[in-house]
Amino acid sequence: MRLVLVGPPGAGKGTQAQFLAAHYSIPHISTGDIFRANLKASTPLGLQAKGYMDAGQLVPDEVTNEMVKDRLTHDDTANGFLLDGFPRNTVQAEVLRAFLAEKRTPLDAVLELAIENEIIIKRLSSRLTCKNCGAPASPEATACPSCGGELYQREDDKEEVIAKRLAVYEEQTAPIVHFYRTEGLLITISADGEVSEITDRAITALSRVHG
């Protein structure tokens, strides 16, 4: 299964990606997580991305595209992958299409998590993230539900940055929904409700394209 997850920040992509990747036994590739890991390790890539991330802006395409293409050549992607947070604009979508076409491994589906802005703002401004594994956690959690690691509030989950991230989504990422609809790959589900409910909804919708 070669799958892309799209949806605004706070739609629950990271959470659903973890369950779906486990369900289909494919790697979960989150560009945000890769950038954050590089930032934590103070690599040149991390330092390059930091200013954009802290401001809620997209890291330049040249940097991001090369990073993803490199990741998609790793052996663990042989049976598929789940991309979370990439592509984020139509240039990235075109680069991905060309890259996969060359390898004759096109996408099977693009799953859109649809949700209202009001719910997003509430979710993001109260969400915590694991310092160790990057998993999201609810505000009541005292340790990471996945690995027990320490929790913190992401710099870009502060209220003033959320508004910027939503504007960037509308302007730059929302057009890829149209791109994938035209390609016949788009499946849209509601991302409102309990986590397990949304996972079931996703698996049911995906079973129509990938038995």
Contact status, residue 189 vs residue 201, Cβ threshold 8 Å: yes
88 a catalytic residue: yes
**12 touching ligand AMP, by CB under 6 A:** no
Chosen residue from 52, 100, 181, 201 binding ligand AMP by CB under 6 A? 52
State yes or no: is 208 an active-site residue.
no
Cα–Cα distance, 45 to 122 (Å, whole number): 31
Identify the residue whose tokens are 């302007």.
Answer: 171
d(CA 184, CA 106) in angstroms, rounded, equals 12
Question: Is residue 130 involved in binding ligand AMP (CB under 6 A)?
Answer: no
**In this structure, are residues 87 and 67 in contact, taking their beta carbons and an 8 Å threshold?**
no
154 is catalytic: yes
| Contact call for residue 56 and ligand AMP (CB under 6 A) | yes
Q: Which is nearer to ligand AMP, 27 or 32 (CB)?
A: 32
According to the binding rule CB under 6 A, does residue 169 interact with ligand AMP?
no
9 is an interface residue for ligand AMP by CB under 6 A? yes
186 binds ligand AMP (CB under 6 A): no
Distance CA 63, CA 123 (A): 29
* Nearest Cα to Cα of residue 209 among 176, 182, 187: 187
Please confirm, yes or no, whether 181 is among the known catalytic residues: no
29-60 in b/e burial notation, b at 16+ Cβ within 10 A?
bbbbbbbbebbeeeeebbeebbebbeebebbe
Q: Decide if 50 is catalytic.
A: no
Measured from the CB atom, the residue of 168 and 206 that comes closer to ligand AMP is 168
Q: Which of 50, 154, 181, 201 is catalytic?
A: 154
The stretch near ligand AMP (CB under 6 A) out of 81-89, 106-114, 174-182, 197-205 is: 81-89
32: contact with ligand AMP by CB under 6 A: yes
Question: Which residue among 85, 124, 189, 198 contacts ligand AMP (CB under 6 A)?
Answer: 85
Active-site annotation, residues: 13, 88, 127, 154, 165
Indicate the annotated binding residues. 10-15, 31, 36, 57-59, 85-88, 92, 127, 130, 133, 144, 147, 154, 165, 193
Which residues contact ligand AMP by CB under 6 A?
A: 9, 31-32, 35, 52-53, 56-59, 64, 85-86, 88, 92, 156, 165
